[in-house]
Amino acid sequence: MGVPRLSINSTPTVPKFPSIPLSEAKMASSKTLAEFFNPAKRLKSVPSPETLILKSSISCNSSPSNESSDPENLTTDQKSRIEINKYSALAKRNLRVCTERVSKSKGISSSSFFFISCIVSAEGMEYVKLEELLVEDSWMKVLPGELQKPYAKNLCRFVEREVRGSVAIYPPQYLIFNALNSTPFDRVKAVILGQDPYHGPGQAMGLAFSVPEGIKVPSSLVNIFKELQQDLGCSIPSHGNLERWAVQGVLLLNTVLTVRNHQANSHAKKGWELFTDAIIRTISLKKSGVVFLLWGNSAQEKSRLIDEAKHHILRAAHPSGLSANRGFFGCRHFSQTNKILEGKGHVLIDWQL
């Protein structure tokens, strides 16, 4: 095929591209700081549910099946993956709302929030009221006015003093209610109770037993993964981020939601227990068929709040290195949970991370 000739006097045709507003061009020219210092990825546009399919399955050892583009022909497994994506998007939306509220209180742009929060000291930090950080609508509906009760107001004042103090408080403000903001009330199928958050820098993320990716997996969580491997054949993940359990309906709830740096139980008996008791009691009263995984004496004390005629309680030793060999290993709580859910016609939990 010959190359077309150009006339010496002809003017080359320049393709026309749609104009881009200057503000958008500036945004596209460089990455924001939040993209470099972001413990939770920025919310991306979510495709239609029919196209949202994760590469995972309910069975830890099963292989992915052929995916169908026709919603009517989707398997239970495929529908589960779509649900995971749907609630992951909701959790990210709630996280974004919380980070924006905290960043505004500090007088900085949300794009710079994560960078600045990593380098400033705790002293003099601005404070966002607790009720402004519980943003998941389903929980606000079933816990109306809970944070306005006298005990909660005292708790709010205590947390405010602590946040404004000279000692770092964990988790960061925007993650205090991460368990509730990640697992809507209507979504709760199982509850795993912890005690207070991890008290080392960068560990606590507002989900019981969970740590962000890149943080060393604590011994208790290592033992949880070992039991999962023995119980369901799940491979042991390289990280300890349990967000994927949370968006599937596993409420990862600590009974105390904040803690001082390197001071375990420092925020115990300040009011958090009354708040989390109200959460457990509300689940027991307004839902049925929820599986409660109570590991250790502290968690098992909460069984008094649960109607065992309506719900299922699985008890075992705590997975810590001190007690895992005294009843946690071999408890098979993960397969038992799925067996109970299957018997009630619920979608099973995909425990593989």
- 300 with 315: CB under 8 angstroms? yes
In sequence order, the β-bridge partners of residue 250 are: 190
3-state secondary structure (DSSP) of residue 252:
strand
For position 278, what pLDDT does the model report?
98
For position 40, what pLDDT does the model report?
44
**Which tens digits make up the pLDDT trace of 34-72?**
443 344 444 344 343 333 333 333 446 544 444 445 667
Cα 350–Cα 340–Cα 344 angle in degrees, nearest 5 = 100
3-state secondary structure (DSSP) of residue 210:
coil
101, 107, 113, 119: CA torsion to nearest 10:
-130
3-state secondary structure (DSSP) of residue 154:
helix
- Beta-carbon-side half-sphere exposure of residue 76 (alpha carbons within 13 Å): 9
Higher local confidence (pLDDT), 127 or 4: 127
User: What confidence category does residue 127 fall into, taking pLDDT thresholds of 50, 70 and 90?
Assistant: confident
Tokens of 262: 């390197």
In sequence order, the β-bridge partners of residue 313 are: 292
Mean pLDDT of 184-213: 98
**Which tens digits make up the pLDDT trace of 278-309?**
999 999 999 999 999 999 999 999 999 999 99
Domains and CATH numbers, the chain: 77-100+127-343 (3.40.470.10)
**Which tens digits make up the pLDDT trace of 216-274?**
999 999 999 999 999 999 999 999 999 999 999 999 999 999 999 999 999 999 999 99
Mean pLDDT of 133-140: 98
Question: Sign of torsion, CA 173 175 179 180?
Answer: positive
For position 141, what pLDDT does the model report?
98
What is the C-alpha separation between 251 and 291, in angstroms, rounded?
10
For position 118, what pLDDT does the model report?
39
pTM over 0.75: yes
> Is residue 88's pLDDT more than 60?
yes
What is the C-alpha separation between 278 and 148, in angstroms, rounded?
13
**Which tens digits make up the pLDDT trace of 313-335?**
999 999 999 999 999 999 999 99
Active site residue 196: yes
Sequence length of the chain is 353
**Which tens digits make up the pLDDT trace of 94-125?**
999 999 999 998 775 544 444 444 333 344 45
Catalytic residue among 137, 186, 196, 231, which? 196
User: What confidence category does residue 76 fall into, taking pLDDT thresholds of 50, 70 and 90?
Assistant: confident
For position 18, what pLDDT does the model report?
44
